[in-house]
Amino acid sequence: MTATLIFLALLMGAVVWWLVRQTINVKPWVASAPSGAQQGVGFLAPPKVALGVLLAVITSLFALFISAYSIRMELSDWRPLPEPDLLWVNTAILFVGSLGLQWAWRGAAREQWPAIRGGLVVGGGCALAFMAGQVLAWQGLAASGYLVASNPANSFFYVLTGLHVLHLLGGLVALARTSGHAWAGALAKTRLGVELCAVYWHFLFVVWLILFGLMLST
């Protein structure tokens, strides 16, 4: 459970620090007229805060899986499986997708529609290609006899990669909606959507790096 505890300690530390800063010198019993400064977290749009919270939940989910992985790994029946080389290609594809959305984000800040639309296409296309690549990797492994139930290492490989793909799939729904806004030319909504998608894509890329690194090293 170490991975989970470290993650939670960091998160709780941040939450408590923020709360203490907000609350330590306040005398709540003193009445005063409201001022503009007394509202919200730095005036971020609610969807951005929501994405932050959602990422914390997803991180908690993966941290728990990683904890379970490291506990289960210690038992005697664990036989590491050879990760297919295809995964390196998939990693590169996912990275390009992340870059594409970063490009779109920059474009959105400068109101450059070709960059926005191009970036969205790259991001979405790469995500689809990555998922296809993962499916190929699963098929390859299954064909060489590494079935999901034959060893816990295999089970974890399929579950972790599968869960990651599912999260990417959810991201594609948001990406499709944002693309709708982008092609309709709604700037404010596109800006927000592109930013959220880009952050989510970067996040899933980092999660993938951690998962991939964990599976390579064990």
Partner 1 sequence: MAQVAHDAVTDADLRPFEVAEEPLYHPKTFIGKYIWSQDAKIIAIQYGITAIGIGLVALVLSILMRLQLGFPESFSLIDPANYLQFVTMHGMIMVIYLLTALFLGGFGNYLIPLMCGARDMVFPYVNMISYWVYLAAVLILVASFFVPGGPTGAGWTLYPPQAVIGGTPGTGAGIILMLISLCVFIVGFTMGGLNYVVTVLQARTRGMTLMRLPLTVWGIFMATVLALLAFPALFVSCIMMILDRLIGTSFFMPAMIAEGMQTAYDGGSPILFQHLFWFFGHPEVYIVALPAFGIVSDVLATHARKNIFGYRMMVWAIVAIGALSFIVWAHHMYVSGMNPYFGFFFATTTLIIAVPTAIKVYNWVLTLWRGNIQLTVPMLFAIGFIFTFINGGLTGLFLGNVTVDLPLSDTYFVVAHFHMVMAVSPVLVVFGAIYHWYPKITGRMFDETLGKIHFWITFLGTYAIYYPMHYLGFEGVPRRYYAYGETAFMSESAQDLNVAISIAAIVVALAQVIFIYNVIKSLFSGEKAGHNPWKATTLEWQTPHTPPRHGNFDEDKLPSVYRWAYDYGVPGAKEDFIPQNVPSEEMAAARAQGETSAQGETKADG
Q: Which residues bind partner 1 (CB under 8 A)?
A: 1, 4-5, 8, 11-12, 15-16, 19, 22-23, 26, 28-29, 31-41, 43-47, 49-50, 53-54, 56-57, 60-61, 64-65, 68, 71-72, 75-78, 148-149, 152, 155, 159, 163, 188-189, 191-192
Q: Which residue has the tokens 């599912």?
A: 166
Q: Name which of 72 and 117 has its Cβ closer to partner 1.
A: 72
* Least distance from partner 1 to the Cβ atom of residue 172, Å: 18
Q: Which of 169, 207, 217 is nearest to 65 (CA)?
A: 207
Where do we find the tokens 């599976």?
215
| Nearest to partner 1 of 71, 216 (CB atom) | 71
Nearer to partner 1 by Cβ, of 104 and 126: the residue is 104
Whether the Cβ atoms of residue 134 and residue 161 lie closer than 8 Å to each other: yes
Please report how close the Cβ of residue 94 comes to partner 1 at its closest, in angstroms.
23
DSSP letter string, 64-95 = HHHHHHHHHHTSTT----PPPTHHHHHHHHHH
Nearer to partner 1, 61 or 210 (CB): 61
How many C-alpha atoms does 67 have within 13 Å on its Cβ side? Answer: 14
Q: Write out the two tokens for 173.
A: 């729904």
Nearer to partner 1, 9 or 92 (CB): 9
Dmax over CA atoms of the chain, in Å, equals 72
Q: How far is the CB of 159 from partner 1 (least distance, A)?
A: 7
What minimum distance in Å lies between the beta carbon of 54 and partner 1? 6
Q: In which residue are the tokens 């034959």 written? A: 150
